[in-house]
Amino acid sequence: MTDSRIEISFTLNRRPVTLRVDPRSRLLDLLRYDLGLPGTKEGCGEGECGACTVHLDGVPVNSCLVPAWQVRDRAVLTIEDTAEAAVERMLDAGTTQCGACTPGVVMTARWLEANPRLLERFSARHLMAGNLCRCTGYDGIIDGIEIPVPDREEA
């Protein structure tokens, strides 16, 4: 029996990584099982709930839909990167209950924090629409992540 795994190199949480993966594996599986990063959660496995959101080259993606081989020579950021402060804000604001959606919500919020001009065209509620929460209302989540709203006069 031959080894069908392929070698990929990429940047994970600002550090270079090289490993052999099954070409059929998803980025979600690679993160959780091959690399031991359990913070990225699997919710639906179909790209509908946002629980598995990570940044791929600075853009939020559903890691359950990304074949692992597609991260070759790219940059991946996960909830384990530097999201502790954002998670703490959500916990302090009482915006989380079960926590299944929290990693995906925080990763989307981090993207909004890095791209505040998006809020000039779209509401935070619209931009967070890819993250499903079955426990709380979205107002609390949006308040808890403290998305900065750009000053309309400076724009």
CATH 1.10.150.120 assigned to domain 84-145? The reply is: yes
* Domain spans, the chain: 6-77, 84-145
pTM of the full predicted structure? 0.82
pLDDT for res 107: 86
| Residue-level pLDDT at 14 | 96
- What pLDDT score was predicted for residue 119? 73
Q: What pLDDT was estimated at residue 75?
A: 98
Q: What is the 3-state secondary structure (H, E, C) of the chain?
A: CCCCCEEEEEEECCEEEEEEECCCCEHHHHHHHHCCCCCCCCCCCCCCCCCCEEEECCEEEECCCCEHHHHCCCEEECCCCCCHHHHHHHHHCCCCCCCCCHHHHHHHHHHHHHCCCHHHHCCHHHHCCCCCCCCCCHHHHHHHHCCCCCCCCCC
Task: Please give the Cα distance from 120 to 118 (Å, whole number).
Answer: 5
**Across the 155 residues of the chain, what is the mean pLDDT of every consecutive 10-residue run?**
88 96 94 95 92 95 96 96 69 71 83 79 75 74 58 45
Q: Which CATH superfamily is domain 6-77 in?
A: Beta-grasp domain (3.10.20.30)
